[in-house]
Each structure stands twice: as structure tokens, then as C-alpha cells.
Amino acid sequence: MTDQTQFIKVPHVVIVGGGFGGLSAARALRKAPVSATLVDRRNHHLFQPLLYQVATAALSPADITAPIRGILRKQRATEVRMAEVQGFDLPARRVHLTSGEALAYDYLIVATGATHAYFGHPEWEPVAPGLKTVEDATEIRRRFLLAFEAAEGERDPEKRAALLTFVVVGAGPTGVELAGSMAEIARHSMIRDFRNINPGSARVVLVEGGPRVLSAYDEKLSAYAARALTRIGVEVRTGAIVTGIDAEGVSIGEERIPARNVVWAAGVTASPLGKALGVPTDRVGRVMIRPDLSIPGHPEVFVIGDLASLEGPGGRPLPGVAQVANQQGVHAANNIRRLIRGEPQTSFRYVDKGSMATIGRRAAVMEAGRVKMKGWFAWVAWLVIHVFFLVGFRNRILVMTQWAWNYLTWQRGARLITGETGAELAPRGKPIGTPEGHSEPMSEGRPASRDAALAAAQGQTAPSDGEGAGWMGGDRSQAGNRE
């Protein structure tokens, strides 16, 4: 008797986006009777709630990322494709890639996230980068650290002050965490590292158009956050509408803040792939989905995470946070299982597990239902929860080690300036100081500069975060094919 292997065709699921939503959907399909293909234009999953720590040199990119192939290694029925999606053919059930290839599917999950929104001012983007990807974080880190190097050799006091002024636009969780971290690294980590400048004199300005920071939180927690930011040296400006941003600074109405470094954390808009589905979208491009997470007229197509517009309890849109994407990814996978079994789909119900944001060392806020915490206990809870939800044991160990080192020494282990620096750092002649070329001690008894080569700097030219607040720190989706 001859053994014959029979191949049984199983439904094929295509998942577009390898962020929180897409990855949770892929994992939830692990034991389902399907084959799956996850498509992302990057090869890694990013733990975005800690991305601001890469931007401020507390962590390295490898600490908060993991290869998608490695994460899904044990799922033999799941294929990972590093590719970029160009569009969809819903009637033919095809996903078109920029390479010209078309992927056939029986079920489709789209989780491509969001990108920065500049409220009709795209010209602001080159000079006020947002924080969505590893590339964004390393570029912000580069500009931040280069500003101090440039100021070290700048003779003009006004130009030096502009170099040492950092403006963060938007006081949601990402903006608050960025501003607090910038103030701490300037006032503690770098305080003894320069000879011609005092890093502690750096000015960090947090600009918010609304009446308070962290507006999604309880008012008392919001007020605490504002006080904590002020204590560590951040200038908090609420009710301030930004009217202009260029390479020289920020305009708030008639006021002008000279600043060479601006970071945008004020808003997001949905990935352009949402409109490629050809179904109704809201004002920021999010796809209007049904309660079961599918799109109208196509029960086999699901949209989740930042790309989806769905009302939660109280009629308010669900926030763009990691826990929403995670829960929606699992729910979409479960509805696919139900469709395969011929059962009706169920409506998505969001379970809010709370929100938290850190302000600085030993200062954070947390809100979970009626439970509201602030200060040291909230900070410890923030640390534990973020480590727990990191993908991979290696990443957890690396992050805990870096945090312990930072806490004990105040030092940031990832203060690396990468890329070309010639345009920012050019010889400037004699150093800051007396006409004879001898530098004066700046403050706190630090020695004068003994090497004119240290005076090498040119002014840095600087080329967004939703208000949603989740227990993993603000929004989390990434530009492009991410969720």
C-alpha cells in the first residue's frame, strides 16, 4: 500500500502591519486552521511606549525592538514578508505590493497605524520631527546631543541660547515624557561633561494648546504632572497655540521662542492605506468600521488599531493606545475563526485597563477606573508594567539593566551621535572666553577649556503624539505598514 500525502487547502489570512495590533492578531491565529502572511515594510516589531527613551539616549534601539521573524518563529503556518503595500483589490481579494506582486487572501487584517499630523502645515515636518519610528528617535537623539556639542563652541550668546532651547509641541503622554527626560539628561547626566557651557542652563519648553497637560487624565493628576515638570526645570506653556515653526524657532501668536530643536508630539493622522480601502473615513483618515471590526460590505476585511475609527463607551472614539490595538487584534482573529466555523461575528468591547505616564525620576501618574496614583508608587508601577509587556526576555533584561545603571549613576548609556555631522560642527576659530582665547570657568568650579579644538561648532538646524493615553504611554502606531 502506497502512502499518499493529501494537501488540504486552508484559508489564507494576510495581516498588513507588524505593530501591536498586527502582531497580536498573528499570535491569536497560531492554532487556527489557517495559513497567514504578515507584511511589514520593516523587519522588526517596535515597543513604541519606550521610544522616547531612545530619543533621549536612555535606551538603544535594540533594547525595544525584536525581529518579527524571531517572534513568530514557532508559528510554522505563518510567513513574514518584508514588503510595502501599495493598495488593495477587495473584489478580487488581493493585496498589491510596491514590488508588483499581489498576495491573495481569504481574510484580511489591516493594521497600518498612523503618522504625524501637522494640521495643514506640512512645511513644519522637516524642522519639527515627530516620534513614531526608530529612525525618528535616533534623529531626534542626534539633534538633541549635537545641540550641546554645537553650543560648546558657539561664541555668540544668543545663538548659544537658541541651541540650548528645546521645544516640545504637544503635552500628551509622549510630549510630557520627552520633555521630562530632556530636562533630566541636561541637568544631571551631562552636567559635568562640558567646559564652555553649563548643560543645566538648557531650556526645555513644553507647549500645549489645551488648558492642561495630559488632558485625558483626571484633573488632579494633570495638575500634579504640571508641577512635577516644573520642578525638574521644564517650562510648561498651556493654552498656547503654535502659529509657526522654522529652523530658527517657534512662534506662539506674537511671541517668538528662538530654538534650534523642536519636537512634534501634537497629533497624528491615519496611514494613507486607510483610504486605499475605498470605504468611508473620518476627518483624520481613520476607517469607519463596524462593531465587529470589519468594513462595510466586506465581512472578511478587518481594520484595527490607529487606522480604525470606532466609538467606545460614552460615544467617544477609542484612543490610539497599545491596549486597544492588542485587544482588537485578538478580537479580529477570533472573528475569523468564527467565520470559518460558520458562526456569526461578535462585536468588539474594549476593556480599559488604565492609563499611565511618567514625568521623570520617581514621578508618574496612573489612572485605572477609580484607582488614581501619582508619585513614586505610580513610577514603580510604570516600570514594572512596561518591562512586563516588552516583547522578548532579552529585551526585558537589557531594559532593566539600563534602567538600573541610569538610576544609580544618572548616566545615559546611549549618548551616541550617528550620521554625518560636518554641517553642524565646523571650525569656529578661537574658543569661547576672553579675547586672548583663554576660556573662563563657567560655573560650579568646572575647569576652563584647555584645548581650542573643543571650540568647533556651528548652529544646529533642526530639520506627533495623540492625546490618547494608555497604560503603555500614549499612542503607539508607526508610520507606514505598522500597528
Catalytically active residues, by annotation: 177
CA distances, 71 to each of 107, 113, 218, 232, 479 (Å): 22, 20, 37, 39, 21
176 within 8 A of 213, measured Cβ to Cβ: yes
Picking from 194, 28, 8, the residue whose alpha carbon sits closest to that of residue 107 is: 28
Residue 409 one-letter amino acid = T
Q: How far apart are CA 238 and CA 223, in angstroms?
A: 12
Give the neighbor-by-neighbor strand order of the sheet with 294-295: 78-82, 35-40, 12-16, 107-110, 298-303, 294-295
In 197-236, which positions are buried (b, 16+ CB within 10 angstroms) versus exposed (e)?
bbbbebbbbbbbbbebbbbbbeeebbebbbebbeebbbbb
Three-state SS sequence of the chain: CCCCCCCCCCCEEEEECCCHHHHHHHHHCCCCCCEEEEEECCCEEECHHHHHHHHCCCCCHHHCEEEHHHHCCCCCCEEEEECCEEEEECCCCEEEECCCCEEECCEEEECCCEEECCCCCHHHCCCCCCCCCHHHHHHHHHHHHHHHHHHHCCCCHHHHHHHCEEEEECCCHHHHHHHHHHHHHHHHHCCCCCCCCCHHHCEEEEEECCCCCCCCCCHHHHHHHHHHHHHCCEEEEECCCCCEEECCEEEECCEEEECCEEEECCCEEECCHHHHCCCCECCCCCEECCCCCEECCEEEEEECHHHEECECHHHCECCCCHHHHHHHHHHHHHHHHHHHHCCCCCCCCCCCCCEEEEEECCEEEEEECCEEEECHHHHHHHHHHHHHHCCCHHHHHHHHHHHHHHHHHCCCCCCCCCCCCCCCCCCCCCCCCCCCCCCCCCCCCCCCCCCHHHCCCCCCCCCCCCCCCCCCCCCCCCCCCCC
